[in-house]
Amino acid sequence: MIWQTAVIERIEQTTPRVKSFFFRVALEHHDAGQHVDIRLTAQDGYQAQRSYSIASAPGAELLELVVEHLPEGEVSSFLHDVAVVGDEIEMRGPIGGHFVWRQSDEGPLLLIAGGSGIAPLMAMLRTRPATDTLLIYSTRTWEDVIFRDELLAMDARVRVIFLITRELPRRAEDFGTRIDRGVLGSVMKQWGCAPRHVYVCGATSFVEAAATALVDEGIPAAIIKAERYGGA
């Protein structure tokens, strides 16, 4: 897979710690859920590579990546503190043939995200799934909810539940706790659908907790797909 030049067309600060980067790049068609690799090169030839999920819908004019700023993070700090509109970044992709959802896969669809793990699930939601969809999205605070307005404006077939772990939830349907079997069970009961596909994405510890809760709730492991971003 070859490296291509991607040009930053727009940068948006979406939460206090997250920016969206919109690239103009001629990658092949992607499926919702896939990621790209980016490669940065210093003057002396030193290089760093990282993976980022594609948040934009397949076919969108610009490719959107959602990058959380990790303190001391080599690549996320560069993107947040140094990169500006017009900069060229090397990119290759789309990559990954497991954590993907296409309209033809149908549903019902259960999506579970922690923090920046919303990115590939957003690409799925943006294809406007023609099936019942439940998104459970965990962040520390209301301010940390990426794509909040867009999520709140989703179609009626998409139910969105926020788990806000470090302050009181704002909406009656949301929860002020971390993901566990109890929360998952009650949210799924209210939803009333049996999922056909489940996608879980976020930091490794979040994915472990969510996937364990799913299995404990009796969801077959074979329908659960997980993308682990790393970190604690």
Residues forming the site for ligand FAD (CB under 6 A): 35, 50-53, 66-68, 70, 72-77, 116, 119, 203, 227, 229-232
Dist CA 21 CA 125 (whole Å): 19
Q: Select from other proteins, ligand FAD, none the partner in contact with residue 46, using the beta carbon and a kind-dependent cut-off of 5 to 8 Å.
A: other proteins
Size of the site for other proteins (CB under 8 A): 44
Amino acid at 213: A
24 binds other proteins (CB under 8 A): no
Least distance from ligand FAD to the Cβ atom of residue 21, Å: 10
Q: Select from ligand FAD, other proteins, none the partner in contact with residue 66, using the beta carbon and a kind-dependent cut-off of 5 to 8 Å.
A: ligand FAD
Per-residue string for binding with other proteins, 75-114, x by CB under 8 A?
---x---xx---xxxx-x--xxxx----------------
Q: What strands, in cross-sheet order, belong to the sheet with 197-202?
A: 158-164, 133-139, 109-114, 197-202, 224-228
Dist CA 166 CA 168 (whole Å): 7
Least distance from other proteins to the Cβ atom of residue 136, Å: 16
| Cβ pair 161, 174 in contact under 8 A | yes
DSSP letters of 70-109?
-TT-HHHHHHHHT--TT-EEEEEEEE-SSS-B-GGG---E
Torsion sign over Cα 36, 205, 160, 165? negative
| Cβ pair 219, 195 in contact under 8 A | yes
Nearer to ligand FAD, 50 or 197 (CB): 50
Q: What three-state secondary structure class fits 59?
A: coil
71 binds other proteins (CB under 8 A): no
Which residues contribute to the site for other proteins (CB under 8 A)?
1, 5, 37, 39-43, 46-51, 72, 74, 78, 82-83, 87-90, 92, 95-98, 204, 207-208, 211-212, 214-215, 221-222, 224-226, 228, 230-232
